[in-house]
Structures are given as structure tokens and as C-alpha cells.
Amino acid sequence: MVFSSLLFVFLFFAANIITQAVVTDIRKKNIVMLSFSLVFYAWAGIRFVPLLLLMTLICWASALLISRRQRQEEKKRILVLAVVLVLLILGVFKYTGFFLRNVQLLLGFPKVIPAIALPIGISFYSFQLLSYVIDVYRGDTEAQEKYWLLLLYASLFHQCIAGPIVRYRDVNHDILHRKVKRTELSRGITRFTVGLAKKAVLANGCAAVVRDVFGIAVDGDLTAAIVQGTPVTGMWLVMLAYTLFIYLDFSAYSDMAIGMGLMCGFHYKENFNYPYTADSVTDFWRRWHISLSSFFRDYVYIPLGGNRCSKGRHIFNLFVVWGLTGMWHGASWNYILWGLYYFVFLVVEKYLVDTGRIPRPLRHVLTLLIVGFGWILFRFDGSGQLLPAVKGLFGLNGNAFSALSIRLVFQNNLFFLLFCCLAATPLAKTLGNMLRNLSQRSAAWLTVYGVWDAAMPVLLLVLSMMSLAGNQYNPFIYFQF
């Protein structure tokens, strides 16, 4: 079940909202929310539910033991054990195949590599649980005495599958004392419908452009032959469409999660801040997947010493963080290369180039080119696709510069892609704020704003449902991570 489906919107989530409104006792409300969350998670694979229960149990028990110990050495040992166990479980499911494939290439064994299914959302909820145990150890939050409440935190269906990565200390009060305000309910509905339209109309439309160029789905299995045969203009069109797609798709999920949270009394932090308006790689990563960046900053980068150390040590700290960032996204060398790719540019910006001397428009263009090329590294894996994809951008595969089919795809989608580019900027938000400010100055503008504020969610919902009709299963790209 995905957020962008008729089943989810009109049955599952509608039932959840109704029960949350009808049930007033907070304990019963939490029981209902936990039940919905476990059903939602089990829908993707009931065999993975015990793993979620186990990892939550490990972190719940570890946090309780830490909170009840007096000696710092004992607390640290418990913390280390919990971190090792969680990362070991994550590693077994996510990286065993990757490790064995590389051993097989080097040593010729094992002959058979076991196929281990990746539990959906494990990268997200494992990091949430780790942040909880570490925060208890640091004294930043109190240990939760009730296992089922920690399980509720780990499994909240709004964000369990693909983020944002929520810290327990940020939602503890909401779990225990939440109340839904009318203004927040309205904001939540608007935010949810914006995210739904962003996914159903814009992200899926960008995915269709990639499909029209390659002949397969945006996340389908490519072959080197397909990549090598794609003209130069086709590769650049794919880079543009995929760059827009991955932002619109992932930020749409975060929008919907934040909106659903508001409708239920939860306050999740922002996960994106218009990253394609950045004028440096450093600025881009302050705006992209903020919850993941802040996790690595607070739990890896700063404990390693951050930037309050020698130049060599600082570069090493960045290397570790960005190597791990790449690994977190997937068990493949192209993801690791993607992470280290950003490590190089961050070091260049920090120590080699004074970006402040470059005119801002040029900085912005250069940043977009760096990010767009980075998505090529991200999308094409190391099984014979990545090098042809990079070479194909510059016609080094012997591929043609253009083709009639590519020109038709571009012409048919030109205005749509331009609209998507505008959707990746704060233009709509700025216009909305202007209309809100005007509504405070006169009754006429207040009426206009009231009509717009009430009509927009309905229009977006109708538009989304029209786009989703006959296209029920359209998962978010970050489900696979």
C-alpha cells in the first residue's frame, strides 16, 4: 500500500482520521494508531513485522538499562552493544549480498549467493531507533518505560517507510499529549494534497519522460546496450527528468508524511528546503534530505570531531560521513561512489575554491550541473551501466547526438518540464504568502484568499485522482532504500 493510491487515501487513511477524531482517550488513541501502523507495515510484507518488533525490543531494553545504571562505563557498554546489534541486523539484510558478490569476484566463492529480501523501511526505522538509544545515553531524552509506545514511535505509518527520520525527543510529547488544532488540520490537509499532486502528477510525469527515452520504468533494470544506444540529447534529457523526478518524488512523500502528521497531532520537521535553489554543494546538502544529514552530523560527524580539529582530521571525518551516506542509500558501488563524489566537492569548496568570488548565478548553474551529474552516478549501477552512462552524456559511446524520437519526447514534455522546474522553487509558496498578506489588508482579498485556501486542496485531490486512475501502484523511489 502506498500513499499515492486510491485504496490508501479513501479507505485506509480516511478510516485512520475518523478513528483518531472519534477516540479521545490518548491511550486508546495510541493503541488505534499503533494498530493502523502495524497493518500498514504488514501490508508490504508481514514476514518483516517480527524484525521491526525485535529491533524495537533491543533498543527499548537497552535504553531502560542505560537509564537505570549509575556507572558511565556500564552505560557505554550497553549503548555499544545496542548499536552493534542494530547495525548488524541492518548489515545482514542490506549488505550481505553486496559483500558476498565482491568476495566472489575476488576469490571465486561462494558459488551461490543467498537472496535476502530487504525489509521495507529498515534503513529509516533502524536510524530512528539508534537515535533514541543514543539520546537516552546522552541524557537528551528519557527512556520510554512502555515497549508498545516505543514501537508506535518506530512504526508510525506516516514516516516509517521513507522518512523523514524522526527523533523520539521531537515526538514524545505528541505521542503522550497530542491534540489536533483546527488550523493544523487545515494545514495538514493542504500539505497532504500538495504532496499527493506532486507525486501523482509531477513526479510520475517525470518518470514517464525517462520511460519514453529508455523504454523501461524509471526504476527498471537497465542494460548497458540501452544506455549505449541512447543519443547524447537523450542522456541529458534523462538527467534533467531524473533530477526533477527524484526531488519531486521524495519531497512529495515527506510533504504527505508531514501533512498526515499534522492531521493526527504529530509535528514532523521539514525534510527539504528547495535544494535546487542552492548555490553550492554545501548549501545543497543543508536543504536535501535534512533529517538524514542532521543524523550523520549529530551522531557521526560531531562525535568524530567535526571541524574542530586539524585539516587532515576534518577531511577524514568528511570522508567517513560521506562514505556512510553513500552506503546508507544502497548496497552497490555506485551509491558509495555517489557519496564520495560529494565528499570531493565539499572538500574543494572548503579548502580549495573560494566560492564567494564566483557570481551567484554561475554558482547556482554549476551546483545544478554537479547535482545532476551526481544523479547519474546514483541511478546507474556498476554492472556495466555507469561508465556508458557517463560517456553517453558526451557522445563517447559512438552514440548519435540526437534522434527524432528524442526530439519528440522533448517537444511533447517541454512545458511540463518547465512547470516542474518552477515547482522545485519557492515560487508557489511566495505567491501564497503574498496572497495571505493581501488578505489582511482588505475584505475583498480576504474573500479571494478564503476561496483559494478552501478550493486548492479539493482541486489538487481531484487532479491527483484523475492521474492515478488506472495507475494504482506507483511506489516512491526511496522505498528501496
Lookup result for grid cell 531494553: 61
Calculate ∠ Cα 87-339-386, nearest 5°.
115
CA distances from 54 to 42, 78, 163, 363 (A): 15, 17, 20, 47
Q: Are 51 and 119 in contact (CB under 8 A)?
A: yes
> What is the chain's Cα-based Rg?
23
Rounded Cα distance between 199 and 203, Å, is 5
C-alpha cell at 119: 525489509
CB neighbour list of residue 40: distance below 8 Å, 6 or more residues apart: 1, 12, 157, 160
Q: What is the DSSP string of 415-454?
A: HHHHHHHHHTSTHHHHHHHHHHHHHTT-HHHHHHHHHHHH
329 belongs to the catalytic site: yes
Closest CA to 101 of 116, 118, 120: 116
Q: Which of 158, 289, 314, 329 is catalytic?
A: 329
**Cα-Cα-Cα-Cα dihedral of 374, 377, 378, 382, to 10°?**
-170
At 45, the amino acid letter reads G
For residue 36, give Cα distances in angstroms to 14, 128, 369: 11, 19, 42
Q: Is 230 helix (H, G, I), strand (E, B) or coil?
A: coil
Question: Cα–Cα distance between 8 and 202 in angstroms, integer?
Answer: 19
Closest residue by Cα to residue 336 from 346, 326, 328: 326
- Please state, in angstroms and rounded to a whole number, the distance separating the CA atoms of residues 85 and 277: 40
Supply φ then ψ for residue 447, to 5 degrees. -65, -45
- Residue showing cell 480576504: 446
Catalytically active residues, by annotation = 329
